[in-house]
């Protein structure tokens, strides 16, 4: 971990690593908590494997797997007791780095009650009338109203169980939310202190296609520690390597032994086998060119007849980043707040201008999402916006499959009737 966000995308040092058992995983959680991190990882709740704060490694989903298909997610018990032999769940790490709801500022009228209902000194809420309070960084008094920016200290997260696709998604959001001249301070504050424990996948889901997108199942750069789980006749163990100085320091504190050749080979074989068992694939085509060359394809009408424009795909996507703002006030009119909320390009009001929404039809909204994700994202940020996690397929209530739609568009370009030659 480092305060330099760019360091999370540098290649990790080569390491044969160490091997630890379940007691090592328990120690890892304890060490991270002892270092002041809020540890977040997968656990079972409400019929799904979700991401929550962990107090101990006992909360990990040992013995649980998942069955994934378009519009379908089911937990299933595993006989091997593996903790990470399950694909991406309904949540991603985005919700912790780029929260779905953030208060940006609050305003209180002079002489009114403050947020906690108590008047401040000299009738000003939370202060003396000069800066609107002492807990904001950028405050002011304008026309009898005290404004207080809301800049709470960023939490120090340790993410345990970051899949290779999600590791790439974090790198993409780094570029989007910190790479330009107007970086998002909320994201920057949370990201700069984050410690990432990646997990290489040995059990792909039925909707995974990370191989097509070049994002997995082996972990790329950006982690502090990476773990590959092995369960075989020699026992249940975790091959663990460091990718940063802090990762190496923490690994040295864990009950582990030097990695043996048998464990390394079993781990690498498991990851390679997972790559051969991907549930989905993208068409072998230049997706950016494919999107640009199919804007008038009839397939958009077909998918529009099924799409509910509910926005589920954008909410579960680990790279979608659009937001809106919402102003709220209390009934007295003495207190108001501005909040930043996640938004979706499937929302009718997302493209609303003075004359109405630019993209009024479900056809135009789905096309905007897909062409941006697979095409124009390259123009903006130099990479695809899709990492192949498959969440948008699983959590679409009508089972729309992004790989199926891309394949249908590609097939259309290959039809002699279209006269297209996209490759």
Q: What pLDDT was estimated at residue 357?
A: 87
Using DSSP's 3-state secondary structure scheme, residue 82 falls into: coil
Average pLDDT (149-155) is: 86
Q: What pLDDT was estimated at residue 11?
A: 34
Q: What pLDDT was estimated at residue 152?
A: 81
Least confident of 85-94, 132-141, 216-225, 299-308: 132-141
Using DSSP's 3-state secondary structure scheme, residue 9 falls into: helix
CA distance 257 to 242: 14
- With 80 as the cut, is the pLDDT of residue 423 above it? no
Contact criterion met (CB below 8 Å) for 227 and 201: no
Phi, then psi, of 324 in degrees rounded to 5: -135, 175
Mean pLDDT of the residues in the chain: 89
pLDDT by residue (tens digit) across 92-138? 999 999 999 999 999 999 765 555 554 443 333 343 333 333 344 44
Residue 95 burial (C-beta neighbours within 10 Å; 0-12, 13-18, 19+): middle
pLDDT by residue (tens digit) across 346-372? 999 998 888 888 999 999 999 999 999
Least confident of 3-17, 104-118, 191-205: 3-17
The percent of residues in the chain predicted with pLDDT above 90, rounded, is: 80
- Please report which confidence band the pLDDT of residue 146 belongs to, taking 50, 70 and 90 as the band edges: very high
CA nearest neighbour of 173 among 65, 310, 325, 321: 321
- Please report which confidence band the pLDDT of residue 242 belongs to, taking 50, 70 and 90 as the band edges: very high
- Please report which confidence band the pLDDT of residue 13 belongs to, taking 50, 70 and 90 as the band edges: very low
∠ CA(246), CA(192), CA(147), 5° rounding? Answer: 150
Residues 6+ apart with CB under 8 A from 224: 1, 195, 196, 197, 242, 243, 244, 246, 247, 250
∠ CA(374), CA(210), CA(232), 5° rounding? Answer: 170
Q: What pLDDT was estimated at residue 125?
A: 38
DSSP assignment string, 213-267 = HT--SS--S--SEEEEEEEETTEEEEEEEESSHHHHHHHHTSS-EEPPHHHHHHH
pTM: 0.87
Residues 6+ apart with CB under 8 A from 229: 82, 83, 84, 85, 199, 202, 236, 237, 238, 239, 267
Give the H/E segment covering residue 353. strand 352-353
Least confident of 16-20, 168-172, 181-185: 181-185
Residues 6+ apart with CB under 8 A from 322: 314, 342, 343, 344, 345, 350
pLDDT by residue (tens digit) across 376-414? 999 999 999 999 999 999 999 999 999 999 999 999 999
Phi, then psi, of 248 in degrees rounded to 5: -65, -40
CA distance 181 to 175: 11
CA nearest neighbour of 196 among 50, 2, 377, 394: 2
Q: What pLDDT was estimated at residue 185?
A: 94
């Amino acid at each position: 971990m480092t305060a330099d966000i760019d360091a999370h995308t540098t290649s990790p040092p080569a390491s044969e690593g160490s091997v630890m058992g379940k007691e090592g995983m328990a120690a890892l959680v304890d060490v991270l908590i002892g270092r002041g991190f809020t540890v977040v990882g997968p656990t079972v709740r409400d019929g799904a494997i979700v991401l929550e704060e962990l107090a101990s490694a006992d909360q990990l989903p040992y013995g649980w797997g998942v069955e994934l298909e378009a519009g379908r997610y089911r937990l299933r018990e595993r006989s091997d007791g593996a903790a990470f032999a399950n694909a991406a769940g309904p949540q991603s790490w985005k919700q912790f780095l780029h929260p779905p709801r953030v208060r940006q500022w609050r305003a209180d009228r002079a002489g009114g009650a403050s947020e906690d209902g108590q008047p401040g000194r000299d009738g000003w809420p939370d202060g003396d009338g000069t800066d609107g309070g002492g807990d904001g960084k950028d405050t002011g008094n304008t026309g009898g109203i005290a404004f207080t920016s809301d800049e709470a200290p960023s939490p120090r997260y340790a993410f345990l169980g970051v899949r290779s696709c999600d590791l790439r998604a974090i790198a993409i959001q780094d570029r989007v939310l910190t790479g330009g001249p107007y970086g998002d301070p909320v994201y920057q504050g949370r990201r700069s202190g984050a410690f990432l424990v990646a997990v290489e996948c040995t059990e792909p889901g039925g909707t995974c296609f990370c191989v097509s997108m070049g994002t997995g199942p082996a972990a790329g750069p950006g982690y502090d520690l990476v773990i590959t789980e092995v369960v075989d006749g020699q026992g249940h163990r975790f091959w663990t390597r460091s990718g940063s100085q802090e990762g190496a320091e923490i690994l040295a504190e864990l009950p582990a032994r030097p990695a043996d050749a048998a464990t390394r080979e079993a781990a690498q074989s498991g990851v390679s086998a997972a790559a051969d068992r991907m549930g989905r694939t993208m068409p072998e085509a230049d997706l950016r060119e494919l999107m640009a060359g199919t804007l008038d394809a009839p397939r958009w009408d077909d998918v529009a007849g099924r799409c509910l424009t509910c926005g589920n795909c954008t909410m579960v996507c680990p790279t979608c980043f659009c937001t809106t703002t919402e102003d709220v006030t209390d009934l007295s009119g003495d207190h108001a707040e501005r909040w930043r909320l996640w938004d979706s390009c499937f929302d009718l009001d997302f493209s609303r201008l003075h004359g109405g929404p630019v993209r009024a039809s479900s056809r135009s909204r789905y096309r905007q999402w897909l062409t941006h994700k697979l095409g124009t994202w390259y123009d903006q940020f130099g990479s695809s916006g899709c990492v192949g996690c498959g969440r948008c397929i699983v959590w679409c209530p009508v089972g729309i499959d992004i790989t199926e739609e891309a394949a249908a568009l590609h097939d259309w370009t290959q039809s002699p009737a279209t006269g297209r030659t996209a490759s």
